[in-house]
A and B are shown apart, each in its own frame.
Chain A
Amino acid sequence: MWVIAVLMFFSLLVACGFLAAFIWAVKSGQYDDKYTPSVRILFDDNEVKKENNRDIQK
């Protein structure tokens, strides 16, 4: 039965690692703004060329 106690210890250790990761994520500001990144990711990086521009405006 000893082995269960050891297993429990390790499982808690792993869980603590995830908790630490969560706290780090909050601390580094990942939860500050939950909306803007979802919009930002959809923007195209490459600049729209002027011709292209005119097309769309028409």
Chain B
Amino acid sequence: MIEEKLQNNIIYEKICFHCGQNCLGSEISLGDKYFCCAGCKTVYEILYQNNLCQYYNIEKNPGNKINKNVSTNNFEFLDDPDVKEKLVSFSDGEYTIATFFISQMHCSSCIWLLENLYKFNSGIIQSQVNFIQKQLTIRYSEKNTSLKKVVELLNSIGYMPELNFSDLVIDERKRESSISKKLYYKIGIAGFCFGNIMLLSFPEYLSFVNNIDTFLRRVFAYVITVLSLPVFFYCSSEYFNSAYKSLKRKVINIDFPLSLGIAVLFLRSLYEILFNMAPGYMDSLAGLVFFLLIGKLFQEKTFETLNFERSYKSYFPVSVTIKKDNKEFSIAASKLQIGDTMIIRNDELVPSDAVLMKGKGYFDYSFVTGESKIIEKQTGDVIYAGGRQKGQAIELEVIKETSQSYLTQLWNQDFSKKNENKLIVLSNVISKYFTIVVLFIAFTASLFWMHYSLSVALNVLTSVLIVACPCALALSTPFTFGNTLRIFGRNKFYLKNTSVVEKLANIDSIVFDKTGTITNSEQSTITFSGRPLSHAEEVLVSSALRNSSHPLSRYIFAQLNTDALIDADYYNEIPGKGIESIIANNKVSIGSKDFVFADALEATDKFNTDKCNNVISEAIDTTVFISINGKNNGFYKISNSYREALEEVINALKNYKLSVLSGDNSGEMIRLKKIFKEASTLLFRQTPEDKLNYISSLQLKGQRILMIGDGLNDAGALLKSDVGISISEDITNFSPACDAILDSTSFSKIGSFLDFSKSNLGIIKLNFIISLLYNIAGLSFAIKGNLSPIVAAVLMPLSSVTAVTFTTLATNFMAKRKGLL
């Protein structure tokens, strides 16, 4: 604890007061506080002016890194009544209630700030946060403010809401929350009935039964019957629905033997109470349903925190500036029509496929391909959606609507995801055989008794079905997988649903994407080749680079880390080429080879030039050339470094077939060959389609594939593979095509994750055996025809409790052994 505090103090001066990121090479400060960028400082100033600095006291460095691209958004379109209507959940003209989804919400400071929005803007009457669902509900007065102003305010303090016009997402969420409300009703009612039925059944179980007069027994029995009606008809309805639906698909799932058991339990008890004056099994019925529902609640709880329902649209700009009749105005990107002329400024993303009409395009497609290379485009060229313009403003004519563009189609390629019917879900396989065996036992036993008496035969038939009801099995699967998901989540590995655990356990082949997956996009190694720079020259280069916001410039700047800096007299940055600057009468050019060489008039440094040419012809890495006063000095080579844990991970995965797919050229072949074993497949220059086809070809060979990738360009392959894991530096920013998201800091644990999934499948099988033993014990009563209500009432809850306890303890134990807990 103390150590941690000390450490915090030491790095205190280097990290951004607002967002806590490293202020590498940043000069921005205010008093004794440092900021990583102007955006963070601005937010601090806004909060300071509004006397809301308590924000920084609740949690340390709570802010969100301000994304420059987001803050350039134009929200004029929010004044459009059509658009507004879609976002607002209630409005009576005077007051309006709008609910936003804000993925940046992450700590209690966020809650505090977002609930104090009224201090910024008096028009906001109330704002309320639902942290788990990351929702913010704002009530504001139409007179004093507008939707646009509210969104602008949120954007300015770093909480840009997701403005999603598909509406689907919001609807989906609303539906979801109503489902869980229903579950609470059901649990409440089942629990109420269970408790009361249990209480009223007690006299029957106790020995003084015979002393009670028949009248009272009848009253008790009828009250029990009435109480069991809501349990049967309301609380257990979804088990019947699910069983019916799966039967229609000719599949027997776990809900089938469950609902069979419930139905037989109810009908037989009803018959006994009404005609035989016997007590019936209503207490077992209510208890069973109650336990099952609690299992379901546990299952839902594990999914509450992470919502996968995001579409490509959340990555796209919400608004675009278009030009019509020489007037510029902004509209929602989803409203773009073919033939519209849109204006894309520096650092803006192209939202739909278009033709370049005016200006010079320098596009960075790193958003799509993951490679940060700038591609030059001429007027008349087709620009695909997803490119980010670097440089002057350009005019583009839309040729496809946003929903039809290449990128969107790549995303939406329909693979009828993994053909769920074919997929073998363990619990369903077990329940299929289980059901067959139970039915077989039930009928043979009753056939045997048929010789003696029909009523005993019926008694045995129903007893077997009751006692064989696989409640322990039904509970153990959600509890095991729920606990697994929780343990994974603690290790920053988030699964889409529980069936992913089973699929993970069955994987035999792993495909890695290269860029951003096995390489660390945030850590690059920089090497300098050529004539070494003197200290004075390093200062010159640093001073020139300081002015540039290009990522490469920042890398090199951070690497040089010189002590002194000189102000530039002249500075010019040419996008896609480089920078030139005059500092203390020295001319410094930094940039691409052509750019710097054109500038280096005297190619006196023949040796260096030749060497440069040689290296360039191999074209392995990104290079940045430096020339000072027309003399070419050499170049910086920036190569991505592999993740530190890569070798460790590969060693842990030696039982799997490994492949690497890369969109890059084969320059890294030798390095990769060393890390991956000879048996692994390494493929280079792969387009998104190639990756997809490669996965399909492996699947045709019967392999079950885990694809680990990142970014949009893998979307197709991630979807096609049996399990697609997307690696993300920032969990709020992920590719939705995947089955799971892995925080890059947990990359080293991939091997443990796979092992853990496997051991969990074993736990479920063990659990199945335990519940079978209980069933055999129960069956021995049932076949003999003397299953008394008290035996059923003890046996059924006991088996459920054992199953749940065992599975929880076993998963935790395995997680500890694998180092995940």
Contact = CB atoms under 8 A, between A and B. Distances in A.
Given A15-B196, A57-B32, A47 B51 contact: yes
B271 interface: no
B181 A36 contact: no
Contact of A58 (B32, B212, B219): B32
Given A8-B200, A39-B111, A56-B57, A32 B130 contact: yes
Contact of A1 (B195, B213, B223): B213
A26 B184 contact: yes
A51 B31 CA distance: 15
Interface in B218-277: 219-220, 223
Nearest to B182: A26
A43 B189 CA distance: 36
A47 B108 CA distance: 17
B223 to A, nearest CB: 7
Given A4-B216, A5-B216, A48-B53, A36 B196 contact: no
A1 B217 CA distance: 11
B188 to A, nearest CB: 5
A26 B180 CA distance: 10
Contacts of A44: 54
Nearest to A22: B188
Interface string A1-22: 1001100100010011011001
Interface string B754-778: 0000000000000000000000000
The main secondary structure of chain B at its interface with chain A is helix
B51 A50 contact: yes
A55 to B, nearest CB: 10
B57 A43 contact: no
Nearest to A9: B223
Contacts of B51: 47-48, 50
A35 B195 CA distance: 28
B59 to A, nearest CB: 11
A10 B131 CA distance: 42
A40 B196 CA distance: 37
B115 A40 contact: yes
Of the listed residues A26, A31, A36, the one surrounded by the most CB atoms of chain B closer than 10 A to its CB is: A36
A43 B188 CA distance: 32
B33 interface: yes
Nearest to A36: B131
A14 B213 CA distance: 26
B761 to A, nearest CB: 31
B132 interface: yes
A46 to B, nearest CB: 10
B177 interface: yes
B132 A34 contact: yes
Interface string B180-215: 010011001100100110001000000000001101
A1 B216 contact: yes
28 contacts: A1-B212, A1-B216, A4-B216, A8-B219, A12-B223, A15-B192, A19-B189, A19-B192, A23-B185, A26-B181, A26-B185, A31-B184, A32-B130, A32-B181, A33-B130, A33-B132, A34-B132, A39-B108, A39-B111, A40-B115, A43-B58, A44-B54, A47-B51, A50-B51, A56-B57, A57-B32, A57-B33, A57-B56
Given A16-B192, A33-B130, 10 more contacts: A12-B196, A19-B192, A23-B185, A31-B181, A33-B133, A35-B132, A36-B111, A43-B58, A48-B57, A56-B57
Interface of B: 32-33, 51, 53-54, 56-58, 108, 111-112, 115, 129-133, 177, 181, 184-185, 188-189, 192, 195-196, 200, 212-213, 215-216, 219-220, 223
